[in-house]
Amino acid sequence: MEEQPIIIKRKKKVVGGHHGGSWKVAFADFATAMMAFFLVLWLTATASPEQKRAVEGYFRDPVGFTEGGSPNPVDLEGSASVVKETSTDMDPDQIQIEDQVVDELAETLEQRRMEELFQELKERIEQNETLQEFKDQLLIDITDEGLRIQIVDRSGRPMFDSGRAQLKYYSQDILFELAKTLGSVSNKLSITGHTDATPFGGRPGYTNWELSADRANTARRALVAGGVRQEQIARVVGLSDSVLFDKEDPTAPVNRRISIIVLNKKTVDDIQSSAGQADEPLIDLTQPTEEEQEAARERLESGEWLQEKPEPAPGELNW
């Protein structure tokens, strides 16, 4: 009988090695999820019904969501509720900018337009033969009210005849050329007449105040004839010699001038607000007293108002 070979099976025992740190990542994810879960529970418990509806609406349709009191899903009464930039979740029409910022932007844009108009006028003066000939009579600067153009008298070359409100032919040409540029802007215009300190003695009752106002109105008519729109005129003023250009020499020809100002929006608003009608006048002098009403009634009944009044003597003022 043959001997059977003896087979011995030996099991190799393997000691477990280091299994790594993957469990730490899993535990960190679990801790993060739990923290987020408790945060949601806390927000849900403290949120108002309106805020809950806002959150619900946001998650249903984040892009088209428009309802709710706040543009943010949850308003924590902090800086998150102040929106200063456009986001994909908001309609651009809903973005609000403070009034002060809007006013500052408007002033900056208007200042830029005034500077562009200033450069345009300078180029027109350099290129136009009529304006080039009389450029020494044109003074252009930017003031608080807007862009100011002053047309001044020079020795031997006045804008008007002495004591008259009729324009010289070359003065009319200057205003016609300026009107082409001024009529192309949307800003309103102010026209002011000035005289020197020499008293006017042409006729009784007619002073430098009347003369400066008449000259300002003559300049207005020339500008309108040259292309400025009627509704563009905001103010026509005669200042006599109250605002001298050359204070050292009150009778200098440069004091006799016409000022045209392209007004900025702030000045136009100030003019309209100061000249507008108040809701309740402080003192109403138009309402006649009871004595005045009684006297008027007596004159009406007596027929005194039908009597002819004597004509004023020649040279006598009647006002």
pLDDT tens, N- to C-terminus, the chain (319 residues): 556 677 666 666 655 555 567 788 888 888 898 998 888 888 778 877 777 777 777 777 666 555 444 444 444 444 444 444 444 444 555 555 566 666 666 677 777 888 888 888 888 888 888 888 888 889 988 888 889 999 998 878 888 887 888 898 888 999 999 998 899 888 899 999 999 888 887 778 889 999 999 999 999 999 999 999 999 999 999 999 999 988 999 988 888 899 999 998 888 888 888 776 656 656 667 777 888 888 888 877 777 666 666 666 665 555 4
Confirm whether 5 is domain-assigned. no
Considering only the C-alpha atoms of the chain, give the largest distance between any 2 of them, rounded to a whole number of Å: 177
Contact 267, 146 (CB under 8 A): yes
Confirm whether 116 is domain-assigned. yes
Q: How many CA atoms lie within 13 A of 286 on its CB side?
A: 2
Confirm whether 83 is domain-assigned. no
Phi, then psi, of 193 in degrees rounded to 5: -105, 140
Domain with 263 in it: what CATH number?
3.30.1330.60
pLDDT in tens, 233-257: 999 999 999 999 889 999 888 888 9
Read off the tokens for 237: 């003023």
- In DSSP notation, 235-271 reads EEEE-TTSS-S-TT-TT-GGGSEEEEEEE-HHHHHHH
149/262 Cα distance (integer angstroms): 8
Confirm whether 132 is domain-assigned. yes
Domain enclosing residue 267, as ranges: 103-273
Confirm whether 253 is domain-assigned. yes
Which pTM value belongs to this model? Answer: 0.56
Confirm whether 53 is domain-assigned. no
Bridge partners (DSSP) of residue 189 are 233, 262
Confirm whether 73 is domain-assigned. no
Confirm whether 4 is domain-assigned. no
pLDDT in tens, 55-107: 777 777 666 555 444 444 444 444 444 444 444 444 555 555 566 666 666 67
What is the domain count for the chain? Answer: 1
